[in-house]
Amino acid sequence: AQSVTQPDIHITVSEGASLELRCNYSYGATPYLFWYVQSPGQGLQLLLKYFSGDTLVQGIKGFEAEFKRSQSSFNLRKPSVHWSDAAEYFCAVASPEGGGNKLTFGTGTQLKVEL
Amino acid sequence: DGGITQSPKYLFRKEGQNVTLSCEQNLNHDAMYWYRQDPGQGLRLIYYSQIVNDFQKGDIAEGYSVSREKKESFPLTVTSAQKNPTAFYLCATLGVRDVSYGYTFGSGTRLTVV
Protein backbone atom coordinates (compact mmCIF):
# COMPACT_ATOMS: atom_id res chain seq x y z
CA ALA A 1 0.00 0.00 0.00
CA GLN A 2 1.15 3.49 -0.74
CA SER A 3 2.10 5.80 2.11
CA VAL A 4 3.57 9.25 2.66
CA THR A 5 5.72 10.48 5.53
CA GLN A 6 6.24 14.10 6.44
CA PRO A 7 8.68 13.93 9.35
CA ASP A 8 8.37 17.55 10.43
CA ILE A 9 5.10 18.42 12.17
CA HIS A 10 6.02 22.06 12.74
CA ILE A 11 8.65 24.28 11.14
CA THR A 12 9.44 27.89 11.96
CA VAL A 13 11.49 30.07 9.63
CA SER A 14 12.27 33.76 9.47
CA GLU A 15 10.86 35.79 6.64
CA GLY A 16 13.36 35.88 3.79
CA ALA A 17 15.03 32.64 4.82
CA SER A 18 15.04 29.54 2.67
CA LEU A 19 12.64 26.66 3.28
CA GLU A 20 12.70 22.94 2.73
CA LEU A 21 9.81 20.66 3.69
CA ARG A 22 10.54 16.97 3.62
CA CYS A 23 8.41 14.24 2.09
CA ASN A 24 9.12 10.55 1.72
CA TYR A 25 6.80 8.14 -0.03
CA SER A 26 6.33 4.43 -0.37
CA TYR A 27 4.87 3.20 -3.62
CA GLY A 28 5.65 0.22 -5.82
CA ALA A 29 5.44 1.84 -9.22
CA THR A 30 6.19 5.26 -10.63
CA PRO A 31 4.35 7.62 -8.34
CA TYR A 32 2.30 10.67 -9.11
CA LEU A 33 3.39 13.17 -6.44
CA PHE A 34 1.75 16.36 -5.26
CA TRP A 35 2.26 19.21 -2.82
CA TYR A 36 -0.77 21.09 -1.51
CA VAL A 37 -1.11 24.10 0.78
CA GLN A 38 -4.02 24.77 3.12
CA SER A 39 -4.94 27.94 4.98
CA PRO A 40 -7.05 27.55 8.15
CA GLY A 41 -10.61 26.46 7.42
CA GLN A 42 -10.01 26.31 3.69
CA GLY A 43 -9.71 23.64 1.02
CA LEU A 44 -6.46 22.54 -0.54
CA GLN A 45 -4.58 24.46 -3.19
CA LEU A 46 -2.21 22.63 -5.51
CA LEU A 47 1.35 23.98 -5.43
CA LEU A 48 2.94 21.57 -7.88
CA LYS A 49 2.89 18.00 -9.15
CA TYR A 50 5.27 15.45 -10.63
CA PHE A 51 4.35 12.67 -13.01
CA SER A 52 7.48 12.01 -15.05
CA GLY A 53 10.32 13.72 -16.85
CA ASP A 54 12.42 16.48 -15.34
CA THR A 55 12.85 15.69 -11.67
CA LEU A 56 12.86 19.35 -10.64
CA VAL A 57 9.38 20.80 -10.92
CA GLN A 58 8.33 24.40 -10.56
CA GLY A 59 5.09 25.40 -8.97
CA ILE A 60 3.12 28.44 -8.01
CA LYS A 61 4.15 31.08 -5.47
CA GLY A 62 7.85 30.46 -6.12
CA PHE A 63 7.88 26.88 -4.83
CA GLU A 64 9.78 24.01 -6.39
CA ALA A 65 10.22 20.33 -5.57
CA GLU A 66 12.73 17.70 -6.53
CA PHE A 67 11.88 14.06 -7.12
CA LYS A 68 14.63 11.68 -6.02
CA ARG A 69 13.74 8.10 -6.81
CA SER A 70 16.77 6.66 -5.02
CA GLN A 71 15.71 8.33 -1.78
CA SER A 72 11.93 8.01 -2.35
CA SER A 73 11.69 11.70 -1.62
CA PHE A 74 9.86 14.70 -3.02
CA ASN A 75 11.00 17.66 -0.91
CA LEU A 76 9.45 21.09 -1.32
CA ARG A 77 11.69 24.17 -1.40
CA LYS A 78 11.44 27.92 -1.56
CA PRO A 79 14.49 30.21 -1.68
CA SER A 80 12.93 33.09 0.26
CA VAL A 81 9.86 32.69 2.45
CA HIS A 82 7.20 35.38 2.73
CA TRP A 83 4.98 35.91 5.75
CA SER A 84 1.98 34.90 3.61
CA ASP A 85 3.45 31.41 3.19
CA ALA A 86 2.46 30.54 6.74
CA ALA A 87 0.03 27.61 6.32
CA GLU A 88 -0.12 23.84 6.45
CA TYR A 89 1.56 21.88 3.68
CA PHE A 90 0.64 18.39 2.56
CA CYS A 91 2.55 15.96 0.40
CA ALA A 92 0.48 13.32 -1.40
CA VAL A 93 0.93 10.33 -3.70
CA ALA A 94 -1.57 8.94 -6.20
CA SER A 95 -1.92 5.48 -7.64
CA PRO A 96 -2.89 5.87 -11.29
CA GLU A 97 -2.28 2.24 -12.22
CA GLY A 98 -5.30 1.00 -10.41
CA GLY A 99 -6.96 1.26 -7.04
CA GLY A 100 -9.24 4.07 -8.06
CA ASN A 101 -6.58 6.74 -8.39
CA LYS A 102 -6.68 7.20 -4.66
CA LEU A 103 -4.70 10.12 -3.28
CA THR A 104 -2.84 9.34 -0.06
CA PHE A 105 -1.68 12.22 2.12
CA GLY A 106 1.05 12.76 4.65
CA THR A 107 0.14 14.15 8.04
CA GLY A 108 1.17 17.65 7.06
CA THR A 109 3.75 20.23 8.12
CA GLN A 110 2.64 23.43 9.80
CA LEU A 111 4.79 26.34 8.69
CA LYS A 112 5.19 29.40 10.88
CA VAL A 113 6.96 32.47 9.54
CA GLU A 114 8.62 34.88 11.94
CA LEU A 115 8.79 38.49 10.89
CA ASP B 1 -16.87 28.93 -13.16
CA GLY B 2 -16.17 25.23 -12.97
CA GLY B 3 -15.64 23.89 -9.53
CA ILE B 4 -16.85 21.99 -6.51
CA THR B 5 -19.49 23.24 -4.11
CA GLN B 6 -19.65 21.81 -0.62
CA SER B 7 -22.53 22.70 1.66
CA PRO B 8 -23.09 23.65 4.31
CA LYS B 9 -19.84 25.24 5.40
CA TYR B 10 -20.63 24.56 9.06
CA LEU B 11 -22.86 21.79 10.39
CA PHE B 12 -23.87 20.86 13.90
CA ARG B 13 -25.13 17.42 14.80
CA LYS B 14 -26.75 16.14 17.94
CA GLU B 15 -25.79 12.78 19.34
CA GLY B 16 -27.62 9.98 17.53
CA GLN B 17 -28.50 12.00 14.46
CA ASN B 18 -27.64 11.28 10.85
CA VAL B 19 -26.47 14.23 8.78
CA THR B 20 -25.74 14.57 5.07
CA LEU B 21 -22.97 16.66 3.57
CA SER B 22 -23.43 17.85 0.02
CA CYS B 23 -20.82 17.82 -2.73
CA GLU B 24 -21.71 19.07 -6.21
CA GLN B 25 -19.36 19.50 -9.16
CA ASN B 26 -19.66 21.00 -12.63
CA LEU B 27 -16.25 19.91 -13.85
CA ASN B 28 -17.62 16.86 -15.67
CA HIS B 29 -15.17 14.67 -13.75
CA ASP B 30 -15.96 10.99 -13.36
CA ALA B 31 -14.18 10.30 -10.08
CA MET B 32 -15.17 11.83 -6.75
CA TYR B 33 -13.72 11.40 -3.26
CA TRP B 34 -14.54 12.17 0.35
CA TYR B 35 -11.77 12.88 2.86
CA ARG B 36 -11.84 13.51 6.57
CA GLN B 37 -9.29 15.83 8.16
CA ASP B 38 -8.31 15.80 11.81
CA PRO B 39 -5.49 17.84 13.35
CA GLY B 40 -2.17 16.02 13.09
CA GLN B 41 -3.58 13.19 10.97
CA GLY B 42 -3.65 14.66 7.51
CA LEU B 43 -6.50 13.69 5.20
CA ARG B 44 -7.93 10.20 5.27
CA LEU B 45 -10.06 8.68 2.53
CA ILE B 46 -13.64 7.78 3.51
CA TYR B 47 -15.26 6.75 0.21
CA TYR B 48 -14.66 7.21 -3.47
CA SER B 49 -16.59 6.76 -6.68
CA GLN B 50 -15.12 6.28 -10.13
CA ILE B 51 -18.40 6.25 -12.06
CA VAL B 52 -22.10 6.81 -11.48
CA ASN B 53 -23.85 4.14 -9.42
CA ASP B 54 -20.58 2.72 -8.16
CA PHE B 55 -18.48 3.53 -5.10
CA GLN B 56 -15.86 1.90 -2.89
CA LYS B 57 -14.84 2.14 0.73
CA GLY B 58 -11.73 4.02 1.61
CA ASP B 59 -9.59 3.64 4.70
CA ILE B 60 -12.10 4.86 7.28
CA ALA B 61 -15.58 4.07 5.88
CA GLU B 62 -17.16 2.79 9.10
CA GLY B 63 -20.05 5.00 10.19
CA TYR B 64 -20.39 6.69 6.81
CA SER B 65 -22.47 6.07 3.69
CA VAL B 66 -22.55 7.58 0.21
CA SER B 67 -24.52 7.49 -3.00
CA ARG B 68 -23.67 8.38 -6.59
CA GLU B 69 -26.91 8.65 -8.52
CA LYS B 70 -25.70 11.52 -10.70
CA LYS B 71 -22.31 12.35 -12.09
CA GLU B 72 -22.44 15.81 -10.54
CA SER B 73 -23.31 14.77 -7.00
CA PHE B 74 -21.66 12.64 -4.31
CA PRO B 75 -23.35 13.22 -0.93
CA LEU B 76 -21.84 11.84 2.27
CA THR B 77 -24.04 10.76 5.19
CA VAL B 78 -22.49 10.66 8.63
CA THR B 79 -24.54 8.13 10.55
CA SER B 80 -25.06 7.72 14.27
CA ALA B 81 -22.66 4.76 14.08
CA GLN B 82 -19.76 7.17 13.58
CA LYS B 83 -18.60 7.65 17.16
CA ASN B 84 -16.34 10.62 16.62
CA PRO B 85 -17.71 12.62 13.69
CA THR B 86 -16.37 16.04 14.63
CA ALA B 87 -13.94 16.86 11.82
CA PHE B 88 -13.38 18.83 8.65
CA TYR B 89 -14.69 17.05 5.55
CA LEU B 90 -13.35 17.67 2.07
CA CYS B 91 -14.76 16.54 -1.24
CA ALA B 92 -12.56 16.18 -4.32
CA THR B 93 -12.81 15.24 -7.98
CA LEU B 94 -10.24 13.86 -10.36
CA GLY B 95 -9.85 14.91 -13.95
CA VAL B 96 -7.90 12.47 -16.15
CA ARG B 97 -9.11 13.26 -19.63
CA ASP B 98 -6.20 15.40 -20.64
CA VAL B 99 -2.59 15.93 -19.71
CA SER B 100 -3.62 17.94 -16.71
CA TYR B 101 -4.32 14.92 -14.49
CA GLY B 102 -5.25 16.50 -11.21
CA TYR B 103 -7.50 16.66 -8.22
CA THR B 104 -9.77 19.56 -7.38
CA PHE B 105 -10.92 20.13 -3.81
CA GLY B 106 -13.98 21.82 -2.41
CA SER B 107 -13.76 24.34 0.40
CA GLY B 108 -14.93 21.86 3.01
CA THR B 109 -17.62 21.32 5.63
CA ARG B 110 -16.83 21.54 9.32
CA LEU B 111 -19.00 19.14 11.29
CA THR B 112 -19.34 19.51 15.05
CA VAL B 113 -21.22 17.24 17.43
CA VAL B 114 -23.11 19.19 20.08
- What residues in A contact B31, CB-CB < 8 Å? 100-101
Decide if B108 touches A, using CB distance below 8 A: yes
Quick check: A74 and A22 in contact, CB under 8 A?
no
How far apart are the C-alpha atoms of A77 and A22, rounded to whole Å?
9
SS3 A85: helix
Strand, coil or helix: A83: helix
The predicted structure's pLDDT at residue B102: 84
Q: Find, among A69, A89, A82, A96, the residue nearest to A22 by Cα.
A: A89
Which segments in chain A show pLDDT lower than 50? none
Distance CA A102, CA A92 (A): 10
Residue A15: what pLDDT? 97
Residues of A in contact with B90 (CB under 8 A): 43-44
- What integer pLDDT is reported at residue A18 of this predicted model? 98
Q: B-chain residues within 8 Å CB-CB of A51?
A: 101
The pLDDT tens digits for B85-107 are: 999 999 999 987 655 678 999 99
Dihedral angle at the C-alpha atoms of A99, B40, A47, B4, nearest 10 degrees?
70
Q: Which residues contact B30 (CB under 8 A, 6 or more apart)?
A: B50, B51, B71, B94, B96
The strand ranges marked E within A22-96 are 24-26, 32-38, 45-50, 56-58, 64-68, 73-78, 87-94
Could you tell me what percentage of chain A is helix, strand and coil, using 3-state DSSP and rounding each to the nearest 5?
10, 50, 40
Contacts of B74 in chain A (CB under 8 A): none
pLDDT tens sequence across B3-62? 999 999 999 989 889 999 999 999 999 999 999 999 888 899 999 999 999 999 999 999
- Number of C-beta neighbours around residue A65 at 10 A: 26
Q: Which of A43, A101, A103 sits opposite B108 (nearest CB)?
A: A43
pLDDT for A100 equals 64
- For residue B36, CA distances in Å to A16, A17, B47, B74, B84 come to 34, 33, 10, 15, 11
Facing A107 at nearest CB: one of B42, B90, B106: B42
A69 three-state secondary structure: helix
Does the pLDDT value for residue B84 go beyond 70? yes
Q: Is A97 left (phi over 0), alpha (psi -120 to 50) or beta?
A: alpha
pLDDT of residue B101: 75
Distance of CA B112 to the CA centre of its chain: 16
A106–B105 C-beta distance less than 8 A: no
* Distance between CA atoms of residues B13 and A91, nearest Å: 31
Out of A49, A101, A105, whose CB is closest to B42? A105
